[in-house]
Structure 1
Amino acid sequence: MTTFPELLRELRLLARVSMPEFALRVHYDRTSLHHFESGRRTAPFDLAEKADEVLGADGCLVAAWLREDEARREAAAAHRTRAAALAMSNDLSALADLDIAALQEGVEATAVDYLGSPPAPMMDRAHVLRADAFERIRSGHHRSADRSDLYVAAGRLSGVLAYALLDMGDPDEALAHAGAAGRCAEYAGDAELAAWVAGTKSLIARFQGDYGQALEYVRDGYQWVGSGHGTGEARLRCGEAQCLANLGNSRAANDALDGADEARARMRHGDSLGGLFGFSQAKQSYYAGSSLIWLQGGHDAERAAREATAAIELWQAGPTAERSLDDERLAHIYLATAQVQLDDVEGAAEAIRPVLSLPVEEQISWIVKRADRLAGMLGAPRYAGNRTAAETVAAINALAA
Structure 2
Amino acid sequence: MTTFSERLRQLRMEARWSLAGLAQHIHYDRTSLHHFETGRRLAPLEVAVRADDVLGANGELIALWQREDAERRAAAAAHRTRAAALAMSRDLTALADLDISELQEGVEATAFDYLGNPPAPMMNRAHALRGEAFERLRSGHFRPGDRADLYVAAGRLSGVLAYALLDLGDAAEAHEHATAAGRCAEFAGDSELAAWVAGTRSLISRFQGDYGRALAFIRDGYQWVGSGHGTGEARLRCGEAQCLANLGDSRAANTALDEAESARERIRRPDSLDGLFGFSRAKQSYYAGSSLIWLQGGHDAERAEREAVTAIELWRTGPEAERSLDDERLAHIYLATARVQLDNVEGAADAIRPILSLPEEEQISWIVKRADRLAGMLSAPRYAGNRTAAETVAAINALAA
TM-score of the pair, normalised by structure 1:
0.98
* Partner of residue 179, structure 1: 179
* Partner of residue 161, structure 2: 161
* Partner of residue 143, structure 2: 143
Tell me the distance in 2 between the aligned counterparts of 1:386 and 1:157. Answer: 48
CA separation of 1:385/1:55 partners in 2, compared to 1, >3 Å: closer, same or farther? farther
- TM-superposition CA deviations, 1:42-91 (whole Å, max 9, x none): 22211211221122111111111111111111111111111111000000
CA contact under 8 A between 2:116 and 2:323: conserved in structure 1? yes
Tell me the distance in 2 between the aligned counterparts of 1:236 and 1:128. Answer: 30
Farther-moved stretch of structure 1 (133-142 vs 36-45): 36-45
CA contact under 8 A between 2:96 and 2:187: conserved in structure 1? no
CA contact under 8 A between 2:127 and 2:157: conserved in structure 1? yes
Q: How does 1:33-182 map to 2 (within 5 A)?
A: 33-182=33-182
Farther-moved stretch of structure 1 (98-107 vs 173-182): 98-107
CA RMSD in angstroms comes to 1.2
Tell me the distance in 1 between the aligned counterparts of 2:337 and 2:13. Answer: 44
Which runs of 5 or more structure 2 residues have no equivalent in the other structure?
none
* Partner of residue 240, structure 1: 240
Tell me the distance in 1 between the aligned counterparts of 2:9 and 2:237. Answer: 55
Q: How does 1:4-23 map to 2 (within 5 A)?
A: 4-23=4-23
CA contact under 8 A between 1:315 and 1:328: conserved in structure 2? yes
* Partner of residue 257, structure 1: 257
Tell me the distance in 2 between the aligned counterparts of 1:73 and 1:32. Answer: 23
SS in 1 for 2:141: coil
Tell me the distance in 2 between the aligned counterparts of 1:30 and 1:337. Answer: 54
Residue type of the alignment partner of 2:305: A
Tell me the distance in 1 between the aligned counterparts of 2:18 and 2:345. Answer: 50
Farther-moved stretch of structure 1 (207-216 vs 389-398): 389-398
Farther-moved stretch of structure 1 (175-184 vs 22-31): 22-31
- Once the 2 structures are TM-superposed, how far is the Cα of residue 333 of structure 1 from its aligned partner? 0.7
- Once the 2 structures are TM-superposed, how far is the Cα of residue 108 of structure 1 from its aligned partner? 0.3
Farther-moved stretch of structure 1 (151-160 vs 337-346): 337-346
- TM-superposition CA deviations, 1:335-371 (whole Å, max 9, x none): 1111111111111111111111111111111111111
* Partner of residue 270, structure 2: 270
Tell me the distance in 2 between the aligned counterparts of 1:247 and 1:31. Answer: 56
CA contact under 8 A between 1:101 and 1:144: conserved in structure 2? no
* Partner of residue 296, structure 1: 296
- Once the 2 structures are TM-superposed, how far is the Cα of residue 389 of structure 1 from its aligned partner? 1.3
* Partner of residue 321, structure 1: 321
* Partner of residue 27, structure 2: 27
CA contact under 8 A between 1:98 and 1:187: conserved in structure 2? no
- Once the 2 structures are TM-superposed, how far is the Cα of residue 321 of structure 1 from its aligned partner? 1.2
* Partner of residue 356, structure 2: 356
Tell me the distance in 1 between the aligned counterparts of 2:25 and 2:400. Answer: 39
Farther-moved stretch of structure 1 (218-227 vs 38-47): 38-47
Residue type of the alignment partner of 1:298: G
- Once the 2 structures are TM-superposed, how far is the Cα of residue 383 of structure 1 from its aligned partner? 1.5
* Partner of residue 377, structure 2: 377
- TM-superposition CA deviations, 1:9-41 (whole Å, max 9, x none): 232333333333332322333333333223232
Residue type of the alignment partner of 2:230: G
- Once the 2 structures are TM-superposed, how far is the Cα of residue 244 of structure 1 from its aligned partner? 0.7
TM-score of the pair, normalised by structure 2:
0.98
- Once the 2 structures are TM-superposed, how far is the Cα of residue 318 of structure 1 from its aligned partner? 0.8
Q: How many percent of aligned residue pairs carry the same amino acid?
A: 80
- Once the 2 structures are TM-superposed, how far is the Cα of residue 7 of structure 1 from its aligned partner? 2.1
CA contact under 8 A between 2:227 and 2:266: conserved in structure 1? no
Which runs of 5 or more structure 1 residues have no equivalent in the other structure?
none
* Partner of residue 365, structure 2: 365
- Once the 2 structures are TM-superposed, how far is the Cα of residue 398 of structure 1 from its aligned partner? 1.3
Farther-moved stretch of structure 1 (331-340 vs 6-15): 6-15
Residue type of the alignment partner of 2:134: F
Residue type of the alignment partner of 1:354: P
